[in-house]
Amino acid sequence: MGVEGIGARVVRKEDRRFITGQGRYVDDVKMVGMSYAHFIRSPHAHAKVKGIDSAEAMKMPGVIAVLTGQQIVDDKVGNLICGWAITSKDGSPMKMGAWPAMAPETVRFVGQAVAVVIAETKNQAKDAAEAVVVDYEELPAAADIKAAIKPGAPQLHPEAPGNIVYDWHIGDEAAVKDAFSKAANVVTLDLTNNRLVPNAMEPRAAIAHYDQAEEHYTLYTTSQNPHVARLVLSAFYNIAPEHKLRVIAPDVGGGFGSKIYIYPEEMVALWASKKVNRPVKWTGDRTEAFLTDAHGRDHVSKAEMAFDKDNKILGLRVKTHANFGAYMSLFSSAVPTYLYATLLSGQYVIPAIYAEVIGVYTNTTPVDAYRGAGRPEASYLVERMMESAARQLKVDPAELRKKNFITAFPYQTPVIMAYDVGDFHASIDAAMKAIDYAGFPARKAKAKADGKLRGIGFSCYIEACGIAPSKAVGSLGAGVGLWESAEIRVNPVGTIEVLTGSHSHGQGHETTFCQIIAERLGVPISQVSIVHGDTDKVQFGMGTYGSRSLAVGGTAIVKAMEKVEAKAKKIAAHALEASESDIVIENGEFKVTGTDKSIALPMVALAAYTAHNLPEGMEPGLKETAFYDPTNFTFPAGAYICELEVDPGTGKTSFVNFVAADDFGRLINPMIVEGQVHGGLAQGIGQALLEGAVYDGTGQLVTASFMDYSMPRADDLPSFQLSHTTTLCPGNPLGVKGCGEAGAIGASAAVINAITDAIGNNKLEMPATPDRVWHAIHG
């Protein structure tokens, strides 16, 4: 490795603009003649829209237009789509109601837009919105899963009787029944996976501009995947054909999944920009983020695990109800099915698995993929089950896990996934050593003497990243391919631009991707630029989510580089009058191996563009493209152990130590990888201790601000102790797996397992607030 190559802890190239206030986020962009949008949103969870009176609002200063849901329907703007078709057990397709960008007739969650005011200033738009009178006829609401599936529940969509979107299953029901009939012990567990609000620190925003002369739209948007946004806006929402629509996602202040989707506000901004013939800007406030960004998780599950007399797992049976909210968001259907149930084997040999998943509509904000997306729910279930089983079977939780670990790879689970590689013993051993597991009983005894309840909890997670291959996900119902593209442009002076379809919104691509180039060519990273986030610059890309950027996007860069290098070697061999096979690349030079003859990259590049002396028949230029479709998922895995103390008097939890031993394959920039893990751990701990979206019985979101929804803050969290074990991913040339979501996937179970260990009561739901913990201790 060079000082800036693979494995180097290079400080980030992008940081200078962020630490000096020069980042350029959507709300920082201004356009000449810009107007401002403010949405009028339903205060009711379920209601008929009887009428909208905007006469007074139109008379107010600065008001340009008040546009309603009926107008957007009249203009034939398409309804929002769900891009992954799931088929129920009985063979029927999933049952979905229509989701218009603004509701013309019925609102189904608090915060759903019914109209938008466009005005000269933001304040004028807000003032005028106060004067718009919407006549609602309130309807009874179903605010959670239980309320939505009971007989006589309010019905959200006529297309989905009983509020059931689908009743899906996976695995072998008969084999599981057989396994349970032979069981020496059965462990059962009822779990709720609490609903989370993403809360990227930058609220969503959009600026739409319509160029009348060119009939061309430009959209600045807070997106993780601008090309997918353009595709969907074109193909499904009829805003404009793709060549007449440019989508730019500049600096984006965090995504975590919530900025994958194409939301009503972007659609309305584009549509309105043509209607009023002015650029239209919308910037959400935090309350709007709470009410309208797709939420995450929200499962209610029942699980049973069968063990033989030697404590080997025989089978797992799971029934999960998943809350989808009021509408099916873009990838929502896939989250509790192919991103959840397919990971229920965890790190273990489980000969038989059967899972049923019932998707349910409720009068709440739509739910979709969020920071782990299905995998945290699976990991939490499996790892709480293993800890519960260890307690019931009276064996050490580490030993029970070790006894059941998968050790031979590749390993085909009963639920689709084929794990390619891993070493689960290595991770748990590293974590146990780091936390001094052997010394725990003494530490617990000492804590007891001090009046504290000390506990330790494990979580051995596995996840699937770089979701692929396209053909396979297509056969499972995905509406898109999941490859990535890269284009490498070597300029005539030898500087390099890498155009990628991945999108960075905190991940550090501008550094990591440069390191891949630096490793291959031996050039400094200052000579390389990463270009992303603009559909006019990058031809196409699938964006960043599911920890896919390096495994898929990075590999596309490698593939394009291989083509660039092959051509450059030909040029160098021609110039040096050597055989192409004798050319090696070192420190930015093309050398004839075993000689002192060499030619520097800029001279090769210049030769490619002057084209004065190229090999016979070679095209000028030095630019190559690759589209890379992976052959399999990647499977990051690891072991987390949490040690904490509970104050029995207050129920308050304090961390003693949190260790993580992750296997992400090869690390390109360990500093960035560690940062990704820290953030994920904070999310997992936040879910375990603090966070939870609360709706009241009428469907009002009670936790709709940072005053009410408990975000993890610096003093809620410990410093983390990280380490890595390594098995290289055989599925891509970099050997990388993905690290963005691991912490969020693995941490929650470790925390709850530690608290339940400390208090000696396994019945504890997330978030384990002091109130809940106190009641779990004292009954």
Partner 1 sequence: MSTVKLTVNGKAVSVDVEDRTLLVHLLRENLNLTGTHVGCDTSQCGACVVHVDGRAVKSCTMLAGQAAGSNVTTIEGLAKGDELHPMQAAFRDNHGLQCGYCTPGMIMSAVDIVHRHGGKLDEETVRQELEGNICRCTGYHNIVKAVLDAAGRMKVAQAAE
As measured in angstroms, the least distance from the Cβ of 510 to partner 1 is 11
Write the CB contacts of 558 (distance below 8 Å, at least 6 apart in sequence): 516, 520, 733, 734
Closest CA to 729 of 721, 738, 720: 738
CB atoms within 10 A of CB 616: 5
Residue 62 lies near partner 1 (rule: CB under 8 A): no
Closest CA to 195 of 33, 40, 310, 360: 360
Distance from the Cα of residue 703 to its chain's centroid: 22
Residue 130 lies near partner 1 (rule: CB under 8 A): no
Residue 440 lies near partner 1 (rule: CB under 8 A): no
Pick out residues in 489-518 that bind partner 1 (CB under 8 A).
Answer: 505-508
- Determine the 3-state secondary structure of 430 from DSSP: helix
Residue 654 lies near partner 1 (rule: CB under 8 A): no
Nearer to partner 1, 258 or 342 (CB): 258
Binder among 161, 612, 719, 779 for partner 1 (CB under 8 A): 719
Produce one character per residue of 556-592: b if its CB has 16 or more CB atoms within 10 Å, e if not: bbbbbbeebbebbbbbbbbbbebeeebbebeebbbbb
Per residue, the 3-state secondary structure of 724-740, as one string, reads ECCCCCCCCCCCECCCC
As measured in angstroms, the least distance from the Cβ of 683 to partner 1 is 8
Written as one string, the DSSP assignment of 249-271 is --B----TTTTTS--HHHHHHHH
As measured in angstroms, the least distance from the Cβ of 720 to partner 1 is 6
Nearer to partner 1, 21 or 617 (CB): 21
> Using an 8 Å Cβ cutoff, are 385 and 307 in contact?
no
Binder among 199, 332, 379, 515 for partner 1 (CB under 8 A): 199
Binder among 705, 733, 763, 778 for partner 1 (CB under 8 A): 705
Binder among 86, 305, 406, 672 for partner 1 (CB under 8 A): 672
Nearer to partner 1, 18 or 407 (CB): 18
As measured in angstroms, the least distance from the Cβ of 267 to partner 1 is 23
Binder among 253, 422, 469, 541 for partner 1 (CB under 8 A): 253
Binder among 87, 155, 185, 287 for partner 1 (CB under 8 A): 287
Per CB under 8 A, the segment of 17-25, 180-188, 408-416, 527-535 that binds partner 1 is: 17-25
As measured in angstroms, the least distance from the Cβ of 290 to partner 1 is 10
- Calculate ∠ Cα 109-702-113, nearest 5°: 30
Residue 674 lies near partner 1 (rule: CB under 8 A): yes
Write the CB contacts of 626 (distance below 8 Å, at least 6 apart in sequence): 485, 486, 487, 556, 557, 559, 560, 562, 563
Residue type, 380: Y
Residue 675 lies near partner 1 (rule: CB under 8 A): yes
Closest CA to 354 of 392, 305, 401, 307: 305
Closest CA to 497 of 487, 512, 509, 507: 487
> Using an 8 Å Cβ cutoff, are 515 and 669 in contact?
yes
Nearer to partner 1, 8 or 148 (CB): 8
Per CB under 8 A, the segment of 151-159, 232-240, 567-575, 707-715 that binds partner 1 is: 707-715
Per CB under 8 A, the segment of 37-45, 83-91, 282-290, 571-579 that binds partner 1 is: 282-290
Interface characters, 342-371, with partner 1 (x: CB under 8 A): ------------------------------
Nearer to partner 1, 683 or 756 (CB): 683
Per residue, the 3-state secondary structure of 14-77, as one string, reads CHHHHHCCCCCEHHHCCCCCCEEEEEEECCCCCEEEEEEECHHHHCCCCEEEEEEHHHHHHCCC
Residue 22 lies near partner 1 (rule: CB under 8 A): yes
Residue 681 lies near partner 1 (rule: CB under 8 A): yes
Residues that bind partner 1 (CB under 8 A): 11-12, 14-25, 27-28, 30, 123, 199-203, 251-254, 256, 285-287, 505-508, 671-672, 674-676, 678-683, 705-707, 711-715, 717, 719-720, 743
